[in-house]
Amino acid sequence: MNNKSLHTLFQLTVKSDAPEFIIYSSKLSERLNYTCQFIFESILNCKCSITDNKQLFKNSSAFKISYSTHSEKEIINISPYDLLFKAGVDESYKPKGTTKNGALYFHMSDSSCDLGYDIFASVFYFISRYEEWQPFEADKHGRFELQQSILFKDKQYLKPVVNSWIEELKQALLKFYPSLKFPQKKFQYISTIDVDNLYAYKNKGASRTLGAIAKDILTFKFGNLSRRLKVLKGKIKDPFDVYDELSDLSKKTTTPLFYFFLQRSGTEHDRTIAPSSSAFKEVFEKLNKNGVEFGLHPSYETVNNDELLKQEFDIIRNNSGSAIQISRQHYLRFTIKTTPKQLIANGVMADFSIGFAAGAGYRAGTFTPFYYYDLEKEKVTELLMVPFAVMDGVYFIYSNTGVEQAERQMLELAEEAKRLNGIFVTVFHERTFDEALYPGFGGLYRKLQAI
């Protein structure tokens, strides 16, 4: 999968006949360019240019927006907050939120602003992940979790607030410009599977298998022992061997499917089979033959180890014969200041780590993929960040929630994305489809294919 196909899948492409906008700002900045590209190109699929030349702005035939303290007649006026014209990170800065009709807003403006707030500064704060560049209290795995989010209050993280703001801007523009016709988008469900352990019982090696059998006996887990022996004798299928089934389901329902494979074993947090096992090559060959996309699931310690990350990319590329260019961090161990740079250095074009481990919701306030913005260099990069809305472990690792409640919340999140013609990305794991471990969750996954 290349950048063009990713843009097509995520509906980020701007066609040649798309409406064109011109934005006037007395100041120009890389932050403003980045934000406007996300709003107008990635979400609204329109052309966009920014100028500080008043005459050029006045003479342009494009649809106009003024981002200035001086309001203009008969066009949309947005009064700027200074966030987009600063450099670096103000560690103490936290924008104050204002709730109106159940919706949350930041960077409120005076009455001369048609929207009542600076949408550009607000969007930038979220898609730059500004709050993750600031000091925060990490969890035990070093992660930015939902309790640290500025959206935590009133559970605003469950809403794609950024997309909702842009929808408001879209409706305001339609009122100002009756001839304006925005390109149409469609709702898209995208499935992603993290493979932490290729198989439950197969291909573990003699010593590991014998140790597991002994443990089953000593802990009186005779049901597990019986199932293990049946798998090893070839009488039943390994419960984690879901690759053909899920790939076939993806084809049948035309649901885009991405796998992410762990390529390290023998540590406290990395427990897959040996990456050198021929079993990986067999699975990769099947997925390549079926046209299924897959990438690396960088192991727990790679977040602090550049050489280990490179080794794992080398392993999966050699085993698969593919130029692996997508990834999602194991345990979602993702550090905004360093992880993207590690991935870029290893040829990654899209990362799928932006989401919460301990709860559902939108870590960046959006379901739309966005490019990583380096606040140290004040520069947009070519690494596409793909947010997900919910992970299966939220319900059986971080809370004792039944499958019925999980289904309700997932469908509610999907409806939010549908309302805005967006994308809904979920994260499941290979073990989730084992009915003996997590009854009902495999069925829930299959239900989601029909949304």
Whose tokens are 């995520």? That residue is 10
Domain ranges in the chain are 19-176, 188-200+238-448
Q: What is the C-alpha to C-alpha distance for residues 432 and 392, in angstroms, rounded to an integer?
A: 8
Q: Is 160 left (phi over 0), alpha (psi -120 to 50) or beta?
A: beta
Provide the pLDDT confidence category of residue 113 given band limits of 50, 70 and 90. low
Structure tokens at 186: 């469609």
- Looking at the predicted structure, is the pLDDT value of residue 74 above 90? no
- Coil, strand or helix at 300: helix
Instruction: For residue 364, give the nearest of 187, 199, 85, 132 by alpha carbon.
Output: 132
Q: Which of 148-157, 209-218, 252-261, 327-336 has the lowest mean pLDDT?
A: 209-218
Handedness of CA 148, 162, 256, 277 (dihedral sign): negative
Q: How many CB atoms lie within 10 A of CB 389?
A: 26
Structure tokens at 93: 């800065």
Q: What is the C-alpha to C-alpha distance for residues 374 and 201, in angstroms, rounded to an integer?
A: 43
pLDDT digits (tens, 9 = 90+) for 381-413: 999 999 999 999 999 999 888 899 999 999 999
pTM of the entire predicted model: 0.94
Q: What is the pLDDT of residue 73?
A: 81
Q: How many CB atoms lie within 10 A of CB 259?
A: 23
Chain mean pLDDT for the chain: 94
% of the chain with per-residue pLDDT over 70:
99
- Looking at the predicted structure, is the pLDDT value of residue 127 above 80? yes
**Max avg pLDDT among 62-76, 102-116, 223-237, 358-372:** 358-372
Q: What is the C-alpha to C-alpha distance for residues 158 and 167, in angstroms, rounded to an integer?
A: 17
Q: Is 425 in contact with 360 (CB distance < 8 Å)?
A: no
- Coil, strand or helix at 429: strand
For residue 327, give Cα distances in angstroms to 189, 230, 393, 422: 19, 34, 19, 22
- Looking at the predicted structure, is the pLDDT value of residue 110 above 70? no
373-378 mean pLDDT: 98
- Looking at the predicted structure, is the pLDDT value of residue 111 above 60? no
80-87 mean pLDDT: 96
% of the chain with per-residue pLDDT over 90:
83
Q: What is the pLDDT of residue 154?
A: 85
pLDDT digits (tens, 9 = 90+) for 190-215: 999 999 999 998 888 777 878 878 88
Fold of 188-200+238-448: TIM Barrel (3.20.20)
